[in-house]
Structure formats: C-alpha cells, structure tokens
Chains A and B, each alone.
Chain A
C-alpha cells in the first residue's frame, strides 16, 4: 500500500503538533521516523493509520484522498494497516484471546491456527492461557506485535516498539521487524528515538522535530550528512563545529578558529566568510601514534582529554595541539571525538594526556548552513 501525505497540519488546543508534513512511505521497506519525545511521532502515526484526522492537508492511500473515503472504505483500509503502540493496551482476557481479537472481528475461518502461529513467532505460545493483564511490558509488546501480525497487514506501524524492553524481547522484536520486511514483504514504519536502531533498520529515515520533518533520506544520508545542527545533535553525529569557509591557495577550506581543515569543494558556499556548520562522524577519524601517510588530507596532533567506555567502544575526546602540524594558535576549545575499540586502546596504550595523531578525509566533513 502506498501512503503519501501532503501539507498535513495538526494542532491541539491551538498548539501546532504537526506542521506541513509531506512524506511518502517507501513500500516494502523499513521507514524510520526519528525525533525526540514530543516531536509529534505518535500524532503522525495516528493520522497515517486513520485513527485521527489532520486539521488540514491530505493523506493519500494508493492515490485516494482519505477525506473522501466513506466509513466503510475507511474500515476496509484500516484492516490492511497494522499498528503497535508503545505501552500497548491489553484486553482483560487471555493472551490467546488478545491475539485472536482482530481475526474474530474479521470473521476469519482459521482463528485457532493463525493465533497459535502468531504466538509461536513471538515465542509466547507457552503463556497463551495467561491473563494478558499480568504480562511484563516486553511480553505485552510482543503479544501486541503478534496481535497485529496475524492480521497480515500490508503496512505495519510500530510506535517506539522497543522502548523499555529487556534485551531478549528487544532482540526478538528486532528480528521480527526484519522478518516482516524480508519474508512477508510488509512495509514497516517505525517511530524511534533509538538512533542505533534507526541506523540499522532505516532504509528510509525521516527526522521529525517540533512537528516538522527537517530531514529525510537513507540512513547513510541522515546520519553522515545531517542538514541542520538539530539533526546533527539528534543523530549524535559526535563532532559538530561552527566555522567559516575560506579560500586558501585557490582551494576552499574550513576555518574552525584553532585549526583549518580541508574540505571537498562546496560551490554553494562560494563566498569567503560564509558561516557554516560542519559535522564529522567519530568513526571517520583514525588515531595513530605516528603521522599517517595516507590520502586523507586532514591530519593533526591532538591531546587526549577524555576517554569514555561505551560498551566496548571507547569514545576518545581530543583537543588539537596548537603550534604543531597545521594547527594554528588561537583561543577556544574545539574537541574532536573519535572512536576506537577497547583492544586498539590497549594496543596503542592510550591514556588521558597523551598526544596522538588524528586523521580524517576531507570528504568525511559534512557542511551545512
């Protein structure tokens, strides 16, 4: 099913919750909507699943505007759409009856088999007779997914499906989401503020901020080339700098104050002195004890200010050392963040206060105004 929105606005009590939403859900792919709490993700999902109406604008389902649909047509359409909310509501009955609910509504002839299969997929068949009100949040989330999946939807909306889940439930849910997309060809639309998940899953990513889509693209585009300081901070780009585009020896460079870095030519920032933001992903920075002989045009000496272990991956904060390499002395701190594995850290004997070289390609620097 093809879903597209045009100029969708929604407000509650005079406060805009969604503004000018124009989006097209990519079919048979995993679409991720990322944004902080309160960005409007849930409201957007309710409108896309016909649970709520936009104040203005239109949602098109396979080309037909939703506002022109009769109640019966809407019901038909809704029955092709699955939705799993975070903190899903469980009916006050058994797990099995919860999963069978939607099938019963449709007068399905194969309820027993389908419900059983659904529970098997989410690995909860053993508690089928348990009251659904006694489930843990992880189990409830899985039951909710099974309840939506057994209905064989063409498109499945998952609103923060893995918030507050234990690792086992998260793993099961993630595997299922992939399975839905790859084996059953279901279009998945997932809201999340878990960036790792969005990077792993998102074949199409929409960044939502204060009710507006501020960036869209592949996960690669959004995570490596954020187009605003908000997107950059939100996708935890690691390194976000403010600088000026300058021209030196006929080539564009970025002046960060303390150092100047080489960038690939950006004709759109033609004028000298254009203030821009620059982002650089920590994994694009190489650390070495000796200067590197590589094609990467940016190499600086830096002092390790801080090292933070984030589950086996070490985030290293470096401050360029002025007066050496191409760094020039000026006040102001511009810490760079790089990541290395724990093993590399040990092999290199890295310690806070040590000086190391950090190197990155000009093409890894993403600029935006």
Chain B
C-alpha cells in the first residue's frame, strides 16, 4: 500500500513539475496517434462517403471486408507491418522500422477499418435522410457530398475520436514496430509497460494518470457531441 501511495505521490510530482521526459513521451504519443488518424481519414472519409452514397458492383464485398478487418488483432497487424518494413521486407530500403513513421503506419492500418466502418454507419443514416431533400432542392453531386458531410460532422468527429482513443492506448503493436526507443519511439503505453516491468512505478503511474485523463476526456467530448448532434 505504502509502495502504491509513494509511487502515486511521486507520479503527481512528475506531472505537476512538468517533467521533461514525461511530456516528451506524451507529446510523441499524441503526435504519432493524431498523424495516424489524419492519414487514416484521408482514406476512410472518401471511402465511407462512396460506400454510403453509391451502390456499385462489389459494394457488399468491400463493406464486409472492412467489417472483417476491424476484427484483426493489433498484434497481427504489427507483425505484417514489421515484415513489410523490416530490412529484408519489400519496403526495407526505406528504413522505417523503429521510427515514429513505423508506428504511424501501423496505427493508421489498425484504425482505418474502424473509422471507415463507424463513418459509413453515420453517413448511411444521414445520407439516406439528406440525399432526397438535397437532390430535390437541386444539389449537384459535389453539393450533395458537402451537405452530407456537414450534416454528419459531429458523428464523423466522434468516429475520429473513437479511432484516436483506440490507437493512443495501443501497446503491443506499437512496441513491435517502434521498438520503444527512449526519446525516439517511446510513447505512453510502451513506456508504462517497460517501467512496470522494471519495477519503476513512478513514471508508469504518471503516464497512466495522463492516459486515463485522455480516455476520460475523449469520453466526455463524445458524450457532449452526442448531446449536441443528431
């Protein structure tokens, strides 16, 4: 008990004193996960819009594939990305392994099916309501897309936040491709795992608290959005 309380006190000290190491880890975590979500959105938003507003041959197959990909374990994605970017892999020449970019790629791959599927559900629902009204009022194809995105914006934002929360809390996969190198690829989750194994709880608890705050913060934002949106 004393051990836990001591670790908690020292952890709070680290946070309050704006410890350099703690904040560089937090900053890297945020920048890696936000970048991953950003790149993911470049694929998931147009793809979900296309699937929500158009029916075409193979439509069902793509939707089913996306839904199946959501179930792929993160560690399996980590393994595949590792093999692809490792020195002897097809993208080995790019020397991405154990860099923040490796983590970004893995996280983007992990989160893309999740964001696409969530966005698709939202856009389908909103699209079916908006489409007839917008088109009957004279919207062209592009005007319809803009209207649908505008109407669905809070739910879409929620999909991105859920995606962000998923990847910022990811450990195993991030460790595999990032390597948990201090000052380079050490993020909150990998640092917590390492420090705990070392028995050095101070930093682990400090990062754990921040991670919890992030999780709660995300939840609060989501609930506020659900209250304000449709």
Contacts and interface: CB of A to CB of B under 8 A. Distances in A.
Nearest to A82: B136
A106 B140 CA distance: 10
B132 A89 contact: yes
For the side of the interface on A, what is the size category?
A: 20 to 34
Contact of B138 (A88, A92, A106, A133): A106
A75 B140 contact: yes
Contact of B147 (A88, A91, A133, A147): A91
Nearest to A76: B138
Interface in B114-150: 129-130, 132-141, 143, 147, 150
A79 B138 contact: yes
**Would you call the interface of chain B mostly helix, strand, loop, or mixed?**
helix
A60 interface: no
A293 to B, nearest CB: 59
Given A91-B147, A92-B230, A105-B143, A78 B138 contact: yes
Contacts, number: 48
B135 A89 contact: no
A105 to B, nearest CB: 5
B169 to A, nearest CB: 31
Contacts of A81: 136
Nearest to B139: A105
A148 B129 contact: no
Given A91-B151, A92-B230, A148 B137 contact: yes
A147 B134 CA distance: 11
A102 B132 contact: no
Contacts of A92: 151, 229-230
Given A91-B147, A91-B151, A105-B143, A147 B137 contact: yes
A105 B141 CA distance: 11
Interface string B193-207: 000000000000000
A75 B138 contact: yes
A85 B151 contact: no
A300 B183 CA distance: 105
A85 B133 contact: yes
B136 A83 contact: yes
B138 A51 contact: no
A106 B143 CA distance: 10
A67 to B, nearest CB: 18
A151 interface: yes
B124 to A, nearest CB: 15
A277 B229 CA distance: 57
A227 B175 CA distance: 79
B230 A78 contact: no
A101 interface: yes
Contacts of A79: 138
A105 B137 contact: yes
A350 to B, nearest CB: 51
Nearest to A46: B132
A300 B226 CA distance: 69
A49 interface: yes
Interface string A6-43: 00000000000000000000000000000000000000
Contacts of A106: 138
Interface string B179-199: 000000000000000000000
Contacts of B147: 91
Interface string A71-112: 100010011011101001101100000000110011000000
Contacts of A75: 138, 140
Interface of A: 46, 49, 51, 71, 75, 78-79, 81-83, 85, 88-89, 91-92, 101-102, 105-106, 133, 147-148, 151
Given A46-B132, A83-B132, 13 more contacts: A75-B138, A83-B136, A85-B133, A85-B136, A91-B133, A91-B147, A91-B150, A92-B229, A102-B138, A105-B137, A105-B140, A133-B230, A147-B137
Interface of B: 129-130, 132-141, 143, 147, 150-151, 229-230
Leading 8 A-B pairs by shortest Cβ distance = A102-B137, A83-B136, A79-B138, A89-B133, A89-B129, A105-B138, A105-B143, A102-B138
5 contacts: A78-B136, A78-B138, A91-B147, A101-B137, A105-B138
